[in-house]
Amino acid sequence: MDRNNVVNPSKNSQRYQNTKPYEMNHNVCTDHPSRPVDEICCYCGKDEGKHREDFENQKQRPKIEDVLIRCGHGSEDNGTHCNHRMHLSCATFAKPMMNFNTQYLSLKQNNNALWCPNHFCEICFGEGFQQTASCGELLHDTETIRAFHTNCRPIGSKMLGRSKIELAKRPTNYTGDHMKFCGLCGKSGGKLQKCKSCIQSFHLRCHQTTSSSHDRLTTCRDCIFDVQIRANEKTFLLDQGVLEVVTTCKDSEANLPEGVVSVLSDRQRRPITVQRNCLYTPPQEICHTVFQSWKQLYKDHKDLPAVSEFLQNLHEYWPAVQKPQKKVIESYDLHQSFVKFLKRNKQEIPDFKPKPAEVNKLVKIKHFGRKGYGVVAKKTIKPGDEIGTYYGEVITIDERERRRSLSIISKDKEAKQYCFEAKIDYTVVNGAKRCNYKEDVIIDSSCYQNETAILNSSCNPNCVADVEIIDMGDFGFHAVTIIAKTEIKRGTELTIDYRWKEFICYCGDKCKNPPTPLEWFQPL
């Protein structure tokens, strides 16, 4: 493969991001790529992709050739374009971070291009906040293609100037006490394996991650992925057989031996130095199970209130990063899956392109912190007033399922859910015979949207969805319109009941599917 023959990322990304999910082992960890010194693949460093055969032999339609492409992050216009190159096959099979899935991340509603790991905060990404991971200022490791938000600077790392850091080497040997429960499920029952590199224990049934550089039987998942811990953040320290809550200190690398960091202990109320591999932060989804196990293992322990507070805060954590807002549009866009459906059924293809919307006189978009964006009334809205038409990308049911499958595989906690079900009426003419049909379609507003797509869900909403059939070429389209259900005062948030059955609702207003109450420590 000619190194100079680098494919335009935008053209190739479009084909790549619209094909079915690639089949691969998702429970694998690949090495963090070294920073390249030449215009070669940043993953394999070779002319031909390591996974080329597996990539090209998959049953993708149309078949996609394994080529060397340039990372799609940034712009040539302002000099921010990333210069890293990568084979499509290497990017597809790369897993340098937990749940890293290049195909999902390249979707139009995410990054709309193939990005290398240099543009994601590794800590936020590993926690499942993949949209947040791609926003904000980043620090970059000097040796490997790894990045971290400025507020997520890892403990033990050294600042080397503007946006450059040197990560601390992870200890590889540990001979002390181990945790008495599994670090992946939080439960203490069953046979526990002990990590040779840190305090973690784990069930083999929970730990399925494989790596060419580590033995799964003796190395925990965090050590395999070299998971980092933020400075100035609460975590667990295993001290004399008991997990206690400590706070990692900033600039803890100063004059400390390799593998040693500084933490602030609530017990001693002063900084102490500890081995880095004696620290553990549980995954968010098992915090309550960890609390139950901790309480059972260390009955009536004086640290129970601090442990409960730490785990409850971690369980409820959600980043409040304000993500870039999509451009507000006033038209539909037709995805190629829907266009192909129309062609198969000999329907006229409407010439729709997303166009900028005029300013909505009734509502405006507002950021609500942790809850994200929402919509509020600019002035009092009367019952029956039309808020707007629900615009977006018209896709088929199969395309909706393909996108959903990719988001499930990726375990992105911030996966965009902006889909509204709709229908089309169409007629197929076969000689003198005319047959009328209906077809279910989806309006997906994760890429193109207006204010109506930003309405948050509520079980006691002040808006409803109505349907109006409009002519769209040869067929009738069941357009969705958002209508005020009740009087809405100025400054009041507009809401709608999406009737999602698969999601827990947090609206708190006569909630039909609230989260299950969890028992934490309650002071007397």
Q: pLDDT, tens digit, for every residue of 19-66? A: 999 999 999 999 999 998 888 999 999 989 889 999 988 887 778 889
Identify the band that residue 254 occupies on the pLDDT scale cut at 50, 70 and 90: low
End-to-end CA distance of the chain: 70
Rounded CA separation 334/443 (Å)? 9
* Model confidence at 524: pLDDT above 70: no
Parts of the chain belonging to CATH 2.170.270.10:
333-496
* Model confidence at 4: pLDDT above 50: no
Query: Hey, what are 266's tokens?
Result: 């609530």
230 Cβ partners below 8 Å, 6+ apart?
A: 123, 151, 152, 153, 154, 155, 248
For 331-444, where are the alpha helices, taking DSSP H only?
A: 336-344, 397-410
Taking the mean position of all CA atoms in its chain, how far away is CA 317? Answer: 15
Residue 129: how many other CB atoms lie within 10 Å = 21
Parts of the chain belonging to CATH 2.30.30.140:
193-315
Higher-pLDDT residue of 75, 482: 482
Rounded CA separation 120/445 (Å)? 24
* Model confidence at 5: pLDDT above 70: no
Identify the band that residue 1 occupies on the pLDDT scale cut at 50, 70 and 90: very low
Q: What pLDDT is recorded for position 9?
A: 52
Q: What is the pLDDT of residues 145-158, one digit of tens each?
A: 999 999 999 999 99
For residue 320, give Cα distances in angstroms to 82, 122, 127, 132, 466.
27, 17, 14, 9, 33
* Model confidence at 511: pLDDT above 90: no
Higher-pLDDT residue of 90, 59: 90
Q: What pLDDT is recorded for position 501?
A: 67
Q: What pLDDT is recorded for position 252?
A: 54
* Model confidence at 206: pLDDT above 90: yes
* Model confidence at 281: pLDDT above 50: yes
The secondary element (H helix, E strand) that includes residue 260 is strand 260-265
485 closest CA partner among 499, 500, 497, 467: 497
Identify the band that residue 77 occupies on the pLDDT scale cut at 50, 70 and 90: low
Q: What pLDDT is recorded for position 506?
A: 76
Asked if residues 167 and 261 have their Cβ atoms less than 8 Å apart, the reply is: no
For residue 187, give Cα distances in angstroms to 181, 183, 204, 427.
5, 8, 13, 58
Identify the band that residue 299 occupies on the pLDDT scale cut at 50, 70 and 90: confident
Q: What pLDDT is recorded for position 38?
A: 82
Query: Hey, what are 454's tokens?
Result: 């930003």
Q: What is the mean pLDDT of residues 408-436?
A: 89
Asked if residues 220 and 192 have their Cβ atoms less than 8 Å apart, the reply is: no
395 Cβ partners below 8 Å, 6+ apart?
A: 335, 337, 338, 403, 441, 442, 444
Surface-to-core class of residue 506, CB atoms within 10 Å of its CB (0-12 exposed, 13-18 middle, 19+ buried): middle
* Model confidence at 329: pLDDT above 90: no
Strands 393-396 and 386-389: unpaired
Q: What is the mean pLDDT of residues 434-455?
A: 91
For residue 190, give Cα distances in angstroms to 145, 153, 202, 238, 464.
38, 36, 10, 21, 51
Rounded CA separation 447/456 (Å)? 17
* Model confidence at 307: pLDDT above 70: yes
Query: Hey, what are 497's tokens?
Result: 């009941």
For domain 193-315, say whether CATH 3.40.50.300 is its number.
no
Mean pLDDT of the chain: 90
pTM of the model: 0.92
Considering 70-84, 198-212, 486-500, the range whose residues carry the highest mean pLDDT is 198-212
Q: What SS3 class is residue 133?
A: helix
Rounded CA separation 507/514 (Å)? 8
Place of tokens 């000689």: 431
Identify the band that residue 370 occupies on the pLDDT scale cut at 50, 70 and 90: confident
Share of the chain above pLDDT 70, in %: 95
Q: Which CATH class is domain 333-496?
A: mainly beta
